[in-house]
Amino acid sequence: MRQFIGNQLILLLLPWFVLAQTTPKYSNEFLNIGVSARALGMANSQVAIVNDVTAGYWNPAGLLQIKDRYQVGLMHSEHFGGVAKYDYAGFATPVDSVSHIGITAIRFGIDDIPDTRFLYNANGSIDYNNIRFFNAADYAFLVSYARKTKLLGGLRLGANLKVIYRNVGNFANAFGFGLDFGAQLRVKKWHFGLMARDVTSTFNAWTHNTTLIYDIYAQTGNQIPKNSIEITLPKAILAVAREFQLNPNLGLLASMDWVSTFDGNRNTLINLNGISLEPSLGIELNYLKMIYIRAGLNNYQQIKNFDGSTFGRVQSNFGLGIQLKNFMIDYALTRNNTDIQSNALYSNIFSVRIAFGK
């Protein structure tokens, strides 16, 4: 029996490692930025503890912890000096006493990009009135379903159906589809979580309108893009957290997520034969569950100096939260993961959560 199970696991995992040798890293990276200032302030360590509408993104099993009839979540953030804008909206509601559903929408885009293909008139003069503008944006729509089971004393399970749309003006666009699966379990003051993203791999089918760029690409010697398939390989996140009651008024929540990717060695803390492991650590101190103070560490990287030596750097994050009856506002002081190698300024991010009914 063990040999049979082992063979089945090899057959299941083999496509992941085969694809890892032929697919690029960092596909659909806009989905790794994260939603809610609470999560960003805790370095994205949410898989085991998420318990609100944002669970549709972090771990759909967490939707089952919502006590309200309806929850709505909103967030807006800007990156790279305000050039790129990130927007999130989520909605969640129970279906019955043991199941919840949720809807998540995400947009990450750069607007009003100048198109200077027609800057020069036929006589060679420059006419700025000929400049046109286009947008490059990535969209994700997630439909989540979560259900409580009787396994292990109340194991919570959830799944996402994910639809991706990406476009670069009229030049190119892509559609993609994928599935996520998540689980949560609470044992007294301990929380455990598992999130498997893109478990079947997510395939983006790109279509290029080459008629718009063929002449310019041919003149400049650039390769003409072709219609293609972009593959996002699976990612697994194991998480554990624990609650501490410091006194009748103060509580502490400590969480840790281990992110595992299978697309080759990345610049992470641990690399094991093409599997990269990256930890995220977060803490949340609450006063009467009304005022929250948060901090977290993640995104450890080895950075090379000009003389060839290397040093380690880790990203620190901070946050605050205030609960006012059915209204929650969160703040995070953080920066985009892509800025870790620079001295880029931190970003101020706000998110809100609104609850209706019981």
Domain positions in the chain: 2-356
* Helix residue ranges, H only, the chain: 2-20, 37-41, 55-58, 214-220
Q: Are the beta carbons of 317 and 298 closer than 8 angstroms?
A: yes
Per-residue model confidence (pLDDT) at position 341: 47
CATH superfamily of 2-356: monomeric porin ompg (2.40.160.40)
Taking only the tens of pLDDT, the chain with its 358 residues reads 334 333 333 333 444 344 444 455 678 888 999 999 999 999 999 999 999 999 999 999 999 999 999 999 999 988 877 788 999 999 999 999 899 999 999 999 999 888 887 788 878 788 888 888 888 999 999 999 999 999 988 999 999 999 999 998 888 899 999 999 999 999 999 999 999 999 988 888 888 887 777 777 777 777 777 778 888 889 999 999 999 999 999 999 999 999 998 887 888 888 888 888 999 999 999 999 999 999 999 988 888 888 878 888 889 999 999 999 899 999 999 876 544 444 556 788 999 999 988 7
With a CB cutoff of 8 Å and minimum separation 6, the contacts of 82 are none
Q: Which helix (H) or strand (E) holds 295?
A: strand 291-304
User: The tokens 């019981």 sit on which residue?
Assistant: 358
Which are the contacts of 4, defined by CB distance < 8 A and separation ≥ 6?
A: none
| Alpha carbons within 13 A on the beta-carbon side of 144 | 36
pLDDT at 306: 83
Question: What's the residue count for the chain?
Answer: 358
Contact 301, 340 (CB under 8 A): yes
Place of tokens 């209204």: 327
User: Distance between alpha carbon 166 and the CA centroid of its chain, in Å?
Assistant: 16
Distances (CA, A) of 288 to 121, 127, 152: 68, 63, 30
DSSP-derived secondary structure letter, 346:
P
Cα–chain-centroid distance for residue 88?
Answer: 11
Of the candidates 141, 142, 140, which has an alpha carbon nearest to the alpha carbon of residue 60?
A: 142
The whole-angstrom separation of Cα 141 and Cα 166 is 12
